[in-house]
């Protein structure tokens, strides 16, 4: 209904304070699409690698990579590789997971605490399930130097999955919540290097093949992506209910 001056009248009961919905920016939509593509690519490549491992007895390149890495004769490198792998063994990995969750909790980051603990649980359970299904033997002492003989299966590497999923989530939280600073940059760099070097350390110590490590990065990356989606979705719901 129009007024005499030609202006449109407001209907009774209409919410004049309603704010128009803001559509996501093109950059955000592209980022979401790219994230989805990366997740699908990771799990697809992992499935293909698993198929190859199930059908091919061994990969010559695995042995070549191990021999090349183990040929590095430098005391500091040997110490570093042992140090990098140490947190991934039990009970260290359990204690570290609990400490991360506790640190988030005392910092007032309850949802981050819950998600980090869930990431550790999902990573461990998934790794054990896949290892039990594939049952790939670890590198033998007659082929490579083995730092310590382990009785569990080899594919995929539990260390790499744990570091990628749990420490990767910590990396993401620091990236999202901390303001840009030297401390933030140092933390992100150190955690990133830690995640990258654990794969090399598992090969150097003769406890995994390179394909075990690659599979763990792919599956761990997929789980990390899932944890990030869960974290962001849960965080938005918490904000809406405040």
User: How does pLDDT run across 59-96, given as a tens digit for each residue?
Assistant: 999 999 999 999 999 989 999 999 999 999 999 999 99
- pLDDT confidence band for 237 (50 / 70 / 90): confident
Cα(47)–Cα(228) distance, integer angstroms: 21
In a domain, 10, yes or no: no
Residue the block writes with tokens 């990995």: 93
Domains identified in the chain, total number: 1
Average per-residue pLDDT for the chain: 90
Res 15: pLDDT: 45
In a domain, 15, yes or no: no
Burial class (CB in 10 A: 0-12, 13-18, 19+), 51: exposed
In a domain, 132, yes or no: yes
Q: Which domain holds residue 98?
A: 26-240
In a domain, 2, yes or no: no
- pLDDT confidence band for 6 (50 / 70 / 90): very low
Most confident by average pLDDT, 6-10, 57-61, 233-237: 57-61
């Amino acid at each position: 209904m129009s007024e005499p001056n030609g202006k449109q009248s407001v209907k009774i009961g209409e919410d004049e304070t309603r704010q128009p919905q803001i559509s996501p920016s093109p950059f955000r939509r592209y980022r979401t699409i790219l994230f989805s593509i990366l997740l699908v690519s990771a799990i697809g490549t992992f499935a293909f690698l698993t198929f190859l491992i199930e059908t091919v007895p061994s990969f010559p390149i695995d042995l070549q990579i191990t021999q090349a890495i183990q040929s590095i004769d430098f005391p500091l490198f040997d110490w570093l590789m042992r140090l990098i792998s140490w947190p991934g063994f039990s009970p260290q990995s359990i204690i570290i997971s609990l400490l991360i969750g506790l640190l988030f909790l005392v910092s007032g980051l309850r949802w981050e605490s819950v998600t980090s603990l869930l990431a550790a649980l999902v990573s461990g359970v998934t790794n054990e399930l896949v290892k039990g299904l594939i049952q790939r033997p670890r590198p033998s002492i007659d082929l490579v130097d083995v730092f310590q003989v382990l009785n569990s299966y080899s594919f995929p590497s539990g260390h790499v999955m744990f570091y990628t999923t749990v420490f990767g989530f910590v990396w993401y939280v620091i990236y999202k919540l901390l303001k840009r600073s030297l401390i933030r940059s140092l933390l992100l760099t150190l955690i990133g290097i830690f995640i990258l070097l654990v794969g090399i350390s598992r090969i150097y110590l003769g406890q995994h093949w390179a394909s075990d490590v690659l599979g763990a990065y792919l599956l761990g990356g997929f789980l990390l992506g899932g944890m990030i989606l869960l974290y962001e979705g849960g965080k938005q719901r918490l904000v809406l209910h405040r």
